[in-house]
Amino acid sequence: GIQVEQSPPDLILQEGANSTLRCNFSDSVNNLQWFHQNPWGQLINLFYIPSGTKQNGRLSATTVATERYSLLYISSSQTTDSGVYFCAVDLGGATNKLIFGTGTLLAVQP
Amino acid sequence: DAMVIQNPRYQVTQFGKPVTLSCSQTLNHNVMYWYQQKSSQAPKLLFHYYDKDFNNEADTPDNFQSRRPNTSFCFLDIRSPGLGDAAMYLCATSSPGGEGGYEQYFGPGTRLTVT
């Protein structure tokens, strides 16, 4: 089956720093989503980005489907950005089942 | 606001005692999913409904069942919970081909403890 690997697995930042999280996938995908899982466990939708680049405030994402990777950029990080970031890919078909990546645990220190 | 709601947020059950988790949605999406997330792991799909059609993942234990009585509600039944079933259970919805495209939306989750 498809492998979805994220790097780095863990990241510690000082508040105000920038970071780039990476998601590599081993096969062609139909769609890709980025999520932030907050300390209470809720998965928050960040981006739905099968290809191209999107921006939302301090966050932006780029997916290069032909090269099988996606990047999530966090600029001017804040303590509220802490949590686990997951990418998830959808292989297509009628019901778009998501396969989640391994996750990146981010801690932003004041 | 349209949303995915899960109740309860925290559930404690005894080993072997059946438990039901519920999910409701106001998005009017035709697909509903149940994921299991164990500590420090990624969410893993258990099964999903496309309208009334039930689709089980090959490695989902028989101990897990689901019901979808109507578009808005979906239930996860664990017939005989074991200690290994302690996890966060996440419900999600999507509407492939609809307004939201293929994007999935998640509820806040139910954290299940088995004593």
Secondary structure of A32-97 as H, E, C letters:
EEEEEECCCCCEEEEEECCCEEEEECCEEEEEEHHHCEEEEEECCCCHHHCEEEEEEEECCCCCCC
Rg (CA), chain A: 13
Q: Identify the top-confidence range among A40-49, A95-104, B91-100.
A: A40-49
**What is the model's pLDDT at position B99?**
52
Task: Give the least confident one: A17-31, A82-96, B4-18.
Answer: A82-96
Dihedrals phi, psi of B4, to nearest 5 degrees: -110, 125
Rg (CA), chain B: 14
Cα torsion for B52, B58, B63, B68, to the nearest 10°?
-10
Extract the tokens encoding B85. Answer: 């079933």
**What is the model's pLDDT at position B101?**
59
B74 Cβ contact partners less than 8 Å away, ≥ 6 residues apart:
B22, B23, B24, B32, B34, B49, B66, B67, B68, B91
Contact between chains at A97 and B90 (C-beta distance less than 8 A): no
Q: What would the pLDDT profile of B16-57 be if each residue is shown by its tens digit?
A: 999 999 999 999 999 999 999 999 999 999 999 999 999 999
**What is the model's pLDDT at position A39?**
87
**What is the model's pLDDT at position B97?**
65
**What is the model's pLDDT at position B15?**
97
Contact between chains at B43 and A96 (C-beta distance less than 8 A): no
Which among B33, B50, B105 is the nearest to A94, CB-wise? B50
What pLDDT band is residue A1 in, cutting at 50, 70 and 90?
confident
Contact between chains at A96 and B96 (C-beta distance less than 8 A): yes
Residue A73, pLDDT above cutoff 60: yes
Q: Give contacts of B95 with chain A, Cβ < 8 Å.
A: none
What pLDDT band is residue A97 in, cutting at 50, 70 and 90?
confident
Q: What would the pLDDT profile of B47-95 be if each residue is shown by its tens digit?
A: 999 999 999 999 999 999 999 999 999 999 999 999 999 999 999 999 8
d(CA A91, CA A95): 10
Contact between chains at B43 and A101 (C-beta distance less than 8 A): no
Contact between chains at B109 and A41 (C-beta distance less than 8 A): yes
Tell which A residues from 72 to 101 touch B, by Cβ distance under 8 Å: 86, 88, 90, 94-98, 100-101
**What is the model's pLDDT at position A47?**
96
Query: Amino acid identity, residue B39?
Result: S
Which among B42, B45, B55 is the nearest to A86, CB-wise? B42
Q: Would you say A102 and A9 are in contact if contact means Cβ atoms under 8 Å apart? A: yes
